[in-house]
Amino acid sequence: MTIEHILAFNAVLIVSILSPGAAFLMAVRSSVSNGRRAGIATGFGLGVMASLWTLAALLGMDALFALFPWAFAALKIGGAAYLIYLAVKTWRGATATLGDAPKAQGRAFFDGFLVNLGNPKSVLFAAAVLVVVFPPDLTAAQIIFITLNHLILEILFYTACAYILTAPVARQRYLRAKPLIDRAAALLLGSLGLKLLLQR
């Protein structure tokens, strides 16, 4: 493994994080709805699970899913069900006012972790991109380094998002547009869940 491999991986990872999807949407809503600490905790949950997918891919997850297709099917169904649950919950709460008590950090972490557990973008990134970017003969130390590198990038990104989105101006704009934003978010989460269920 060379520095070029790491730079290529980081470039693809940054583009993947920035692309619209369930993880980014979850981080945004958590920050503006529940406060900076909840946003950072959600980012930690998203990052931990995404980096675990990276670790699994580097250890041969694709071979495991080929050997046990039912495991991937179970993952898809569970992930889709959770995304649809979040969609329904978000839609129902679109017109509700935000409470004064922020979401507990442990709950925010768990929500982020679960979203990336069944997030098709996380699974596909780990299974496809990593095996193309890195050589097959990685040492244990290199695998740990790549996994930690992934985790650090995710945490830095979502922490920066939490600080930006909890600024007073950003929060006030969100509150004014909350019903529209939440319903759009619910539709996106629901469509991602349905797409995951219907994918072969």
- The 10s digit of each residue's pLDDT in 130-148 is 666 777 788 889 889 999 9
pLDDT for the residue 45 = 93
Mean local confidence (pLDDT), 101-110: 75
Instruction: For residue 200, name the pLDDT band (cuts at 50, 70, 90).
Output: low
Q: Which residue has the higher pLDDT, 113 or 96?
A: 113
pLDDT for the residue 59 = 81
Residue 160 has pLDDT above 90, yes or no: yes
Residue 166 has pLDDT above 80, yes or no: yes
pLDDT for the residue 148 = 94
- 3 state SS for the chain: CCHHHHHHHHHHHHHHHHCCCHHHHHHHHHHHHHCHHHHHHHHHHHHHHHHHHHHHHHCCHHHHHHHCHHHHHHHHHHHHHHHHHHHHHHHHCCCCCCCCCCCCHHHHHHHHHHHHHCCHHHHHHHHHHHHHHCCCCCCHHHHHHHHHHHHHHHHHHHHHHHHHHCCHHHHHHHHHHHHHHHHHHHHHHHHHHHHHHHCC
Residue 174 has pLDDT above 80, yes or no: no
